[in-house]
Amino acid sequence: MNASNTQFLARAYRAVLAAAFAFALAGCASSIHFRSQDGAGADEPAPPTEMITEKLIAAERQQHREQANVELENLLVPNPPPYAIGSGDVLSIVVWDHPELAGNAMNTGSLAADPSGANTAPPGFVVDHLGRIQFPLIGMVGVDGKTEEQARALLTAKLAKYLANPNVTLRVQSYRSKRVYIDGEVKSPGLQAINDIPMTLVEAINRSGGLLPSADQSRIVLERGQQRYLLSLRDLVQKGINPGMVMLAPGDVVRVHSRDESKVFVSGEVLTPKALTMHDGRLTLNEALGESGGISPLSGDARQVYVVRKTPERTRVFQLDARVAGSLAMAESFELQPKDIVYVAASPLANWNRNLSLLIPGALTSAVTATNRP
68 in a structural domain: no
**Rg of the chain over CA atoms, in angstroms?**
35
61 in a structural domain: no
Distance CA 19, CA 48 (A): 30
Last residue of a domain, one of 117, 148, 174: 174
pLDDT recorded at residue 148: 95
The residue range of the domain holding 98 is 90-174
Distances (CA, A) of 226 to 72, 184, 253: 16, 20, 11
CB atoms within 10 A of CB 261: 15
322 in a structural domain: yes
Average pLDDT over residues 128-157: 94
Q: What does the pLDDT look like over 37-69, one tens digit per residue?
A: 555 544 556 688 999 999 999 998 888 777 766
Q: Which residues contact 343 (CB under 8 A, 6 or more apart)?
A: 32, 266, 267, 268, 305, 306, 307, 308
The CATH number that applies at residue 167 is 3.30.1950.10
Of 32, 163, 33, 2, the C-alpha closest to 98 is 163
Distance CA 28, CA 348 (A): 5
pLDDT recorded at residue 292: 94
31 in a structural domain: yes
339 in a structural domain: yes
Average pLDDT taken over every residue of the chain: 81
Q: How many structural domains are present in the chain?
A: 3
My answer on whether 247 and 327 are in the same domain is no
Last residue of a domain, one of 121, 141, 174: 174
Q: What does the pLDDT look like over 109-126, one tens digit per residue?
A: 333 334 444 444 457 899
My answer on whether 249 and 318 are in the same domain is no
Q: What does the pLDDT look like over 237-267, one tens digit per residue?
A: 888 888 889 999 999 999 999 988 889 999 9
Q: What does the pLDDT look like over 57-105, one tens digit per residue?
A: 999 888 877 776 666 777 888 888 999 999 999 999 999 988 877 754 3
Find the length of the chain.
374
Last residue of a domain, one of 236, 259, 282: 259
Distances (CA, A) of 255 to 152, 181, 261: 37, 8, 12
Cut 0.75: pTM above it: no
66 and 58 in contact (C-beta within 8 Å)? no
